[in-house]
Amino acid sequence: MGVMKRVTMVFRAKANKALDRMEDPRETLDYSYQTQLELLQKVRRGVADVATSRKRVELQLNQLQQSSDKLDRQARDSLAAGREDLAREALTRKAGVQSQLGDLQEQYASLQSEEEKLTQASQRLQAKVDAFRTRKETIKATYTAAEAQTRINEAFTGISEEMGDVGMAIQRAEDKTAQMKARAGAIDELMASGALDDMVSGPHDDIQAELDRMGATGGVDHELERMKAELAQSAPRQIEGSQAGTSDGASAQPASAASAPDPAQAGDPE
Amino acid sequence: MIVRILGEGQLEVPESEVAGLNQLDATLESAVERGDEASFRPALAALLAKVREVGSPTEAGDLRPSELIIPQPDATMDEVRKMLTDDGLIPG
Protein backbone atom coordinates (compact mmCIF):
# COMPACT_ATOMS: atom_id res chain seq x y z
CA MET A 1 0.00 0.00 0.00
CA GLY A 2 2.92 2.29 0.55
CA VAL A 3 4.29 4.26 3.45
CA MET A 4 2.51 7.47 2.45
CA LYS A 5 -0.95 5.90 2.36
CA ARG A 6 -0.46 4.03 5.60
CA VAL A 7 0.72 7.10 7.50
CA THR A 8 -2.26 9.01 6.12
CA MET A 9 -4.64 6.31 7.32
CA VAL A 10 -3.24 6.51 10.83
CA PHE A 11 -3.78 10.27 10.84
CA ARG A 12 -7.33 9.86 9.49
CA ALA A 13 -8.18 7.22 12.04
CA LYS A 14 -7.26 9.64 14.82
CA ALA A 15 -9.49 12.33 13.37
CA ASN A 16 -12.41 9.94 12.85
CA LYS A 17 -12.23 8.63 16.36
CA ALA A 18 -12.42 12.18 17.71
CA LEU A 19 -15.34 12.98 15.39
CA ASP A 20 -17.25 9.90 16.53
CA ARG A 21 -17.09 11.05 20.11
CA MET A 22 -19.06 14.23 19.36
CA GLU A 23 -22.86 14.21 19.60
CA ASP A 24 -23.60 17.49 17.85
CA PRO A 25 -21.27 18.13 14.90
CA ARG A 26 -21.30 21.84 15.56
CA GLU A 27 -20.11 21.21 19.09
CA THR A 28 -17.12 19.57 17.48
CA LEU A 29 -16.15 22.86 15.93
CA ASP A 30 -16.01 24.80 19.18
CA TYR A 31 -14.32 22.02 21.04
CA SER A 32 -11.72 21.58 18.33
CA TYR A 33 -11.09 25.31 18.17
CA GLN A 34 -10.30 25.34 21.89
CA THR A 35 -7.85 22.49 21.42
CA GLN A 36 -6.24 24.33 18.52
CA LEU A 37 -5.70 27.44 20.62
CA GLU A 38 -4.16 25.32 23.36
CA LEU A 39 -1.83 23.67 20.87
CA LEU A 40 -0.81 27.09 19.51
CA GLN A 41 0.16 28.10 23.04
CA LYS A 42 2.11 24.91 23.40
CA VAL A 43 4.05 25.48 20.18
CA ARG A 44 4.93 29.01 21.26
CA ARG A 45 6.16 27.73 24.60
CA GLY A 46 8.14 25.12 22.69
CA VAL A 47 9.82 27.81 20.59
CA ALA A 48 10.71 29.73 23.74
CA ASP A 49 12.13 26.60 25.40
CA VAL A 50 14.33 25.77 22.44
CA ALA A 51 15.52 29.38 22.30
CA THR A 52 16.46 29.28 25.97
CA SER A 53 18.44 26.10 25.44
CA ARG A 54 20.13 27.58 22.41
CA LYS A 55 21.19 30.67 24.35
CA ARG A 56 22.63 28.55 27.12
CA VAL A 57 24.70 26.59 24.63
CA GLU A 58 25.75 29.89 23.05
CA LEU A 59 27.10 31.05 26.43
CA GLN A 60 29.02 27.84 26.87
CA LEU A 61 30.43 28.13 23.37
CA ASN A 62 31.73 31.60 24.23
CA GLN A 63 33.30 30.37 27.46
CA LEU A 64 35.00 27.48 25.73
CA GLN A 65 36.21 29.76 22.95
CA GLN A 66 37.77 32.06 25.55
CA SER A 67 39.49 29.10 27.15
CA SER A 68 40.82 28.02 23.79
CA ASP A 69 42.10 31.52 22.98
CA LYS A 70 43.77 31.82 26.35
CA LEU A 71 45.52 28.47 25.97
CA ASP A 72 46.68 29.55 22.54
CA ARG A 73 48.17 32.74 23.98
CA GLN A 74 49.82 30.78 26.76
CA ALA A 75 51.35 28.40 24.24
CA ARG A 76 52.81 31.35 22.37
CA ASP A 77 54.08 33.02 25.55
CA SER A 78 55.65 29.74 26.64
CA LEU A 79 57.37 29.26 23.31
CA ALA A 80 58.63 32.84 23.34
CA ALA A 81 60.07 32.15 26.78
CA GLY A 82 61.81 29.09 25.41
CA ARG A 83 59.57 26.68 27.35
CA GLU A 84 58.47 24.21 24.70
CA ASP A 85 57.30 21.77 27.38
CA LEU A 86 54.78 24.31 28.71
CA ALA A 87 53.70 25.25 25.18
CA ARG A 88 53.06 21.59 24.41
CA GLU A 89 50.95 21.18 27.55
CA ALA A 90 48.91 24.28 26.68
CA LEU A 91 48.32 23.07 23.13
CA THR A 92 47.28 19.63 24.36
CA ARG A 93 44.70 21.22 26.62
CA LYS A 94 43.60 23.48 23.80
CA ALA A 95 42.97 20.41 21.65
CA GLY A 96 40.70 19.04 24.40
CA VAL A 97 38.74 22.27 24.58
CA GLN A 98 38.51 22.40 20.79
CA SER A 99 36.97 18.96 20.66
CA GLN A 100 34.32 20.02 23.19
CA LEU A 101 33.75 23.13 21.09
CA GLY A 102 33.22 21.14 17.91
CA ASP A 103 30.71 18.91 19.65
CA LEU A 104 28.81 21.82 21.11
CA GLN A 105 28.75 23.68 17.81
CA GLU A 106 27.01 20.71 16.21
CA GLN A 107 24.41 20.64 18.96
CA TYR A 108 23.97 24.37 18.63
CA ALA A 109 23.26 24.08 14.91
CA SER A 110 20.75 21.32 15.59
CA LEU A 111 18.93 23.46 18.19
CA GLN A 112 18.90 26.40 15.80
CA SER A 113 17.29 24.29 13.11
CA GLU A 114 14.76 22.92 15.60
CA GLU A 115 13.87 26.45 16.66
CA GLU A 116 13.38 27.47 13.05
CA LYS A 117 11.21 24.45 12.31
CA LEU A 118 9.00 25.08 15.34
CA THR A 119 8.67 28.76 14.49
CA GLN A 120 7.48 27.85 11.01
CA ALA A 121 5.17 25.17 12.39
CA SER A 122 3.67 27.75 14.70
CA GLN A 123 3.05 30.10 11.76
CA ARG A 124 1.48 27.32 9.67
CA LEU A 125 -0.78 26.28 12.52
CA GLN A 126 -1.77 29.89 13.19
CA ALA A 127 -2.85 30.34 9.56
CA LYS A 128 -4.92 27.13 9.69
CA VAL A 129 -6.48 28.02 13.02
CA ASP A 130 -7.50 31.43 11.66
CA ALA A 131 -9.03 29.77 8.59
CA PHE A 132 -10.78 27.24 10.80
CA ARG A 133 -12.31 29.96 12.97
CA THR A 134 -13.80 31.67 9.94
CA ARG A 135 -15.04 28.38 8.52
CA LYS A 136 -16.55 27.43 11.85
CA GLU A 137 -18.62 30.62 12.07
CA THR A 138 -19.79 30.25 8.48
CA ILE A 139 -20.85 26.65 9.01
CA LYS A 140 -22.68 27.44 12.23
CA ALA A 141 -24.53 30.38 10.66
CA THR A 142 -25.44 28.70 7.39
CA TYR A 143 -26.20 25.05 7.93
CA THR A 144 -28.34 22.86 10.16
CA ALA A 145 -26.48 20.23 12.13
CA ALA A 146 -27.30 17.54 9.58
CA GLU A 147 -26.26 19.62 6.59
CA ALA A 148 -23.07 20.75 8.21
CA GLN A 149 -21.74 17.27 8.86
CA THR A 150 -19.69 16.83 5.67
CA ARG A 151 -18.16 20.28 5.82
CA ILE A 152 -17.35 19.91 9.46
CA ASN A 153 -15.75 16.56 8.82
CA GLU A 154 -13.47 17.93 6.15
CA ALA A 155 -12.38 20.99 8.11
CA PHE A 156 -11.90 18.90 11.22
CA THR A 157 -9.89 16.23 9.45
CA GLY A 158 -7.71 18.88 7.80
CA ILE A 159 -6.96 20.76 11.00
CA SER A 160 -6.56 17.55 12.97
CA GLU A 161 -3.86 16.41 10.53
CA GLU A 162 -2.04 19.72 10.99
CA MET A 163 -2.34 19.39 14.74
CA GLY A 164 -0.96 15.87 14.66
CA ASP A 165 1.98 17.03 12.58
CA VAL A 166 2.70 20.01 14.83
CA GLY A 167 2.28 17.83 17.90
CA MET A 168 4.97 15.49 16.65
CA ALA A 169 7.25 18.44 15.82
CA ILE A 170 6.87 19.69 19.40
CA GLN A 171 7.66 16.23 20.71
CA ARG A 172 10.84 16.05 18.63
CA ALA A 173 11.92 19.52 19.73
CA GLU A 174 11.27 18.62 23.37
CA ASP A 175 13.39 15.49 23.03
CA LYS A 176 16.26 17.41 21.48
CA THR A 177 16.01 20.15 24.09
CA ALA A 178 16.04 17.58 26.88
CA GLN A 179 19.18 15.99 25.41
CA MET A 180 20.79 19.41 25.14
CA LYS A 181 19.86 20.32 28.69
CA ALA A 182 21.48 17.16 29.97
CA ARG A 183 24.55 17.87 27.90
CA ALA A 184 24.76 21.54 28.85
CA GLY A 185 24.32 20.53 32.48
CA ALA A 186 27.23 18.10 32.15
CA ILE A 187 29.47 20.80 30.69
CA ASP A 188 28.41 23.26 33.40
CA GLU A 189 29.32 20.63 35.97
CA LEU A 190 32.65 20.02 34.29
CA MET A 191 33.36 23.75 34.40
CA ALA A 192 32.22 24.04 38.01
CA SER A 193 34.38 21.08 39.00
CA GLY A 194 37.33 22.86 37.46
CA ALA A 195 38.13 20.14 34.97
CA LEU A 196 37.63 22.51 32.08
CA ASP A 197 38.18 26.07 33.17
CA ASP A 198 40.73 25.47 35.90
CA MET A 199 43.15 24.49 33.21
CA VAL A 200 43.24 28.08 32.13
CA SER A 201 41.73 30.43 34.66
CA GLY A 202 41.25 28.66 37.95
CA PRO A 203 43.56 28.59 40.95
CA HIS A 204 45.27 25.50 39.56
CA ASP A 205 46.23 27.12 36.29
CA ASP A 206 49.74 25.74 36.39
CA ILE A 207 50.68 26.94 32.94
CA GLN A 208 49.83 30.52 33.82
CA ALA A 209 51.53 30.14 37.21
CA GLU A 210 54.70 28.97 35.54
CA LEU A 211 54.51 31.78 33.01
CA ASP A 212 53.93 34.31 35.80
CA ARG A 213 56.83 32.95 37.80
CA MET A 214 59.00 33.19 34.73
CA GLY A 215 57.65 36.67 34.21
CA ALA A 216 58.85 37.71 37.69
CA THR A 217 62.23 36.01 37.86
CA GLY A 218 63.00 34.07 34.73
CA GLY A 219 61.86 37.05 32.69
CA VAL A 220 65.15 38.81 33.46
CA ASP A 221 67.15 35.91 32.11
CA HIS A 222 64.93 35.80 29.11
CA GLU A 223 65.42 39.52 28.51
CA LEU A 224 69.15 39.09 28.80
CA GLU A 225 69.12 36.25 26.29
CA ARG A 226 67.13 38.37 23.91
CA MET A 227 69.55 41.30 24.21
CA LYS A 228 72.54 39.04 23.75
CA ALA A 229 71.02 37.72 20.58
CA GLU A 230 70.43 41.26 19.37
CA LEU A 231 73.98 42.22 20.13
CA ALA A 232 75.36 39.18 18.38
CA GLN A 233 73.41 40.22 15.32
CA SER A 234 74.47 43.87 15.33
CA ALA A 235 78.12 43.30 16.27
CA PRO A 236 79.42 42.26 12.83
CA ARG A 237 77.80 45.29 11.27
CA GLN A 238 79.50 47.53 13.79
CA ILE A 239 82.90 46.06 12.92
CA GLU A 240 82.35 46.70 9.28
CA GLY A 241 81.03 50.21 9.89
CA SER A 242 83.22 51.73 12.55
CA GLN A 243 85.68 50.35 15.13
CA ALA A 244 84.96 53.26 17.47
CA GLY A 245 81.44 52.09 18.40
CA THR A 246 82.65 48.96 20.23
CA SER A 247 83.27 50.52 23.62
CA ASP A 248 79.63 51.69 23.79
CA GLY A 249 78.40 48.13 23.48
CA ALA A 250 80.69 46.99 26.24
CA SER A 251 79.59 49.58 28.76
CA ALA A 252 75.88 49.20 28.06
CA GLN A 253 75.84 45.44 28.39
CA PRO A 254 78.76 44.07 30.38
CA ALA A 255 77.03 40.76 31.08
CA SER A 256 76.96 39.96 27.41
CA ALA A 257 80.70 40.15 26.97
CA ALA A 258 81.23 36.47 27.52
CA SER A 259 78.60 35.18 25.20
CA ALA A 260 79.02 37.85 22.54
CA PRO A 261 82.75 38.46 22.53
CA ASP A 262 83.89 41.43 20.55
CA PRO A 263 87.32 40.87 19.06
CA ALA A 264 87.92 44.60 18.74
CA GLN A 265 87.13 45.12 22.47
CA ALA A 266 89.40 42.31 23.57
CA GLY A 267 92.28 43.80 21.63
CA ASP A 268 91.82 47.24 23.13
CA PRO A 269 92.49 47.32 26.94
CA GLU A 270 92.34 51.17 27.01
CA MET B 1 -3.67 15.70 -4.98
CA ILE B 2 -2.48 17.13 -1.66
CA VAL B 3 0.65 15.61 -0.15
CA ARG B 4 2.00 16.50 3.28
CA ILE B 5 5.65 16.38 4.24
CA LEU B 6 5.60 16.07 8.01
CA GLY B 7 7.18 19.05 9.72
CA GLU B 8 7.08 21.09 6.52
CA GLY B 9 3.51 21.43 5.31
CA GLN B 10 1.33 20.51 2.35
CA LEU B 11 1.99 20.54 -1.38
CA GLU B 12 -0.34 20.24 -4.35
CA VAL B 13 0.93 17.50 -6.64
CA PRO B 14 -0.45 16.91 -10.16
CA GLU B 15 -2.25 13.55 -10.52
CA SER B 16 0.10 12.67 -13.37
CA GLU B 17 3.01 12.51 -10.90
CA VAL B 18 1.36 10.20 -8.39
CA ALA B 19 2.42 6.98 -10.14
CA GLY B 20 6.07 8.08 -9.98
CA LEU B 21 5.70 8.89 -6.29
CA ASN B 22 4.12 5.53 -5.58
CA GLN B 23 7.07 3.77 -7.18
CA LEU B 24 9.55 5.63 -4.96
CA ASP B 25 7.27 4.95 -2.01
CA ALA B 26 7.32 1.21 -2.73
CA THR B 27 11.13 1.26 -2.51
CA LEU B 28 10.86 3.08 0.81
CA GLU B 29 8.28 0.68 2.16
CA SER B 30 10.30 -2.37 1.27
CA ALA B 31 13.36 -0.87 2.97
CA VAL B 32 11.30 -0.33 6.14
CA GLU B 33 9.81 -3.83 6.03
CA ARG B 34 13.24 -5.42 5.60
CA GLY B 35 14.73 -3.18 8.28
CA ASP B 36 17.29 -2.15 5.70
CA GLU B 37 18.81 1.02 7.12
CA ALA B 38 21.27 1.42 4.23
CA SER B 39 18.56 1.77 1.58
CA PHE B 40 16.01 3.45 3.86
CA ARG B 41 17.65 6.89 3.95
CA PRO B 42 18.30 7.30 0.21
CA ALA B 43 14.78 6.00 -0.50
CA LEU B 44 13.20 8.59 1.82
CA ALA B 45 15.43 11.32 0.38
CA ALA B 46 14.47 10.38 -3.18
CA LEU B 47 10.76 10.41 -2.39
CA LEU B 48 11.01 13.81 -0.68
CA ALA B 49 13.08 15.26 -3.51
CA LYS B 50 10.49 14.14 -6.05
CA VAL B 51 7.56 15.59 -4.10
CA ARG B 52 9.35 18.91 -3.70
CA GLU B 53 10.21 18.90 -7.39
CA VAL B 54 6.69 18.29 -8.71
CA GLY B 55 4.63 19.86 -5.91
CA SER B 56 3.77 23.44 -5.11
CA PRO B 57 2.90 24.63 -1.58
CA THR B 58 -0.80 25.01 -0.77
CA GLU B 59 -2.29 28.23 0.60
CA ALA B 60 -1.56 28.82 4.29
CA GLY B 61 -5.25 28.72 5.27
CA ASP B 62 -6.12 25.64 3.20
CA LEU B 63 -8.00 23.24 5.45
CA ARG B 64 -8.19 20.27 3.08
CA PRO B 65 -6.73 17.06 4.46
CA SER B 66 -3.84 15.37 2.63
CA GLU B 67 -4.27 12.21 0.62
CA LEU B 68 -0.68 11.18 1.17
CA ILE B 69 1.66 11.90 4.09
CA ILE B 70 5.43 11.54 3.98
CA PRO B 71 7.63 11.29 7.09
CA GLN B 72 9.93 14.18 7.90
CA PRO B 73 13.38 14.22 6.21
CA ASP B 74 15.31 13.29 9.36
CA ALA B 75 12.89 10.58 10.47
CA THR B 76 14.57 7.40 11.63
CA MET B 77 13.42 4.04 10.34
CA ASP B 78 12.13 3.29 13.81
CA GLU B 79 10.01 6.44 13.82
CA VAL B 80 8.58 5.61 10.41
CA ARG B 81 7.71 2.10 11.54
CA LYS B 82 5.85 3.53 14.54
CA MET B 83 3.97 5.94 12.29
CA LEU B 84 2.66 3.04 10.22
CA THR B 85 1.10 1.33 13.18
CA ASP B 86 0.11 4.33 15.27
CA ASP B 87 2.37 3.45 18.14
CA GLY B 88 1.34 6.50 20.08
CA LEU B 89 3.60 8.68 17.95
CA ILE B 90 0.90 10.98 16.64
CA PRO B 91 -0.53 12.99 19.54
CA GLY B 92 -4.25 13.68 19.99
Asked whether residue A176 carries a pLDDT value surpassing 50, the answer given is yes
Instruction: Say whether A10 and B80 touch across the interface (CB within 8 A).
Output: no
Residues B11-49: pLDDT tens digits?
A: 999 999 999 999 999 999 999 999 999 999 999 999 999
Instruction: Say whether B4 and A6 touch across the interface (CB within 8 A).
Output: no
Q: Does B46 touch chain A (CB under 8 A)?
A: no
Instruction: Say whether A131 and B22 touch across the interface (CB within 8 A).
Output: no
Q: Which of B22, B65, B91 sits opposite A171 (nearest CB)?
A: B91
ipTM reported for the complex surpasses 0.85: yes
Asked whether residue A144 carries a pLDDT value surpassing 90, the answer given is no
Q: How far is A140 from chain B (nearest CA, A)?
A: 17
Q: What is the DSSP string of chain B?
A: -EEEETTTEEEE--GGGHHHHHHHHHHHHHHHHHT-HHHHHHHHHHHHHHHHHH-EEPPTT--PPPSEEE--TT--HHHHHHHHHT-S-S--
What pLDDT does A198 receive? 45
Q: State chain A's mean pLDDT as an integer.
A: 80
Confidence grade of residue A153 (pLDDT, cut at 50, 70, 90): confident
Any alpha helices (H) in A194-218, and if so which ranges? 206-213
Contact A125, A42 (CB under 8 A): no
What pLDDT does A219 receive? 56
Asked whether residue A146 carries a pLDDT value surpassing 90, the answer given is no
Asked whether residue B53 carries a pLDDT value surpassing 80, the answer given is yes
Contact list in A for residue B4 (CB cut-off 8 A) is 161, 165
What pLDDT does A147 receive? 76
Instruction: Say whether B92 and A132 touch across the interface (CB within 8 A).
Output: no
Contact A73, A92 (CB under 8 A): no
Residue of A nearest to B74 (CA): A172
Q: How far is A31 from chain B (nearest CA, A)?
A: 13
Q: What's the rounded Cα separation, in Å, for the pair B73 and B60?
A: 21
Give B15 or A262, the one with higher predicted confidence: B15
CA torsion sign, B69 to B71 to B77 to B80?
negative
Q: What's the rounded Cα separation, in Å, for the pair A102 and A240?
A: 56
User: How many beta-carbon contacts under 8 Å exist across A and B?
Assistant: 110
What pLDDT does A220 receive? 63
What pLDDT does B89 receive? 61
Residues B66-84: pLDDT tens digits?
A: 999 999 999 999 999 988 8
Contact B39, B27 (CB under 8 A): yes
Q: How far is A139 from chain B (nearest CA, A)?
A: 14
Name, in order, each residue with C-beta under 8 angstroms of B78's C-beta and a sequence gap of 6 or more: none
Question: Which residue, among A52, A97, A71, has the nearest Cα to A191 in the 3D structure?
Answer: A97
Q: Which amino acid is at A109?
A: A
